[in-house]
Chains A and B, each alone.
Chain A
């Protein structure tokens, strides 16, 4: 009878975790309301799991990402041409590191974010906020490494071509 009353502890969402996931959701949809919706839906889904998935935070990020793709964005066609064959991973990794040398006026960050695609914003979030390497971003986002490398390459080019007047690269 007592077994009936025994329940495994449910995950407790700390303020920090919720805000972290909210920011990640925002990087995908660039909307406060949608980011909150994604987060709420994710929290509810995780509560259905018994026992709670471990580790919790990466799992919840995956849920948010999948939910975003399902609800807010159908998979768009993306040109993926066996990038590993054409893109030198070491160069791409280096270009990601080089982005740390970019300078920008604080007021223009929002403008750049607004004009980037969700893939690019997510990439920047994982790189700048979570501090992940390309390999770690590939694991976290579930995106094939080759696809990610080509995405980094395009992002770097775009920042330079389209936002060059807002961004300056220091040598």
Chain B
């Protein structure tokens, strides 16, 4: 066997052997991508934070901040159908408030229930969505029909929601709205 001293040097050919080994462009990009994905500069951090905030608010509003009108309407319809005895019979909202002194909010005369048309008959405690609420009995002076009217303190996260909903549950028409920081429901 004969060797040429220039191209047959063991050291040189060992070097060549290793130098021929190359990562593919795809492999290089992937490895460099690892670094880039972890290397966010200040503006990217700011953008990422801003996007995260928007996403968080969106998710919050979508899943947590919305009033579950359907569940509340169901509860109101159930209470309405139960026809429970009133604890205080009075046409004065102040008298009812005085009697139902465990309520953590002040009962209101709703703007949507015209005093001339609706007459308050009495009230009792109940609960809506796990919160203490007042269930009032009101009579339509024209039709003489008796309906139930609910007031509960709105959780802070619901205060900005002004949507008014009308649903029919178990044959009962239920209107739900927000007024003066209270959740109001009317079962007809």
Contact = CB atoms under 8 A, between A and B. Distances in A.
A13 B10 CA distance: 31
Interface of A is mostly: helix
Interface stretch (A67-75, A78-86, A124-132): A124-132
A23 B31 contact: no
B63 interface: no
Interface of A: 2, 4-7, 9-13, 15, 18-19, 22-23, 26-27, 32, 35-36, 39-40, 43-44, 47, 99-100, 102-106, 109-110, 113, 124-125, 127-129, 159, 165, 167-168, 170
Contact of A26 (B21, B28, B34): B21
B21 A124 contact: no
Interface of B: 1, 3-5, 7-19, 21-23, 27-28, 30-32, 34-35, 38-42, 45-46, 49
Given A47-B38, A103-B9, A109-B10, 8 more contacts: A10-B38, A13-B31, A19-B23, A22-B23, A23-B18, A36-B27, A43-B34, A103-B8
Contacts of A39: 23, 31
A128 B19 CA distance: 10
Contact of A124 (B3, B7, B14, B22): B14
Contact of A10 (B1, B22, B27, B35): B35
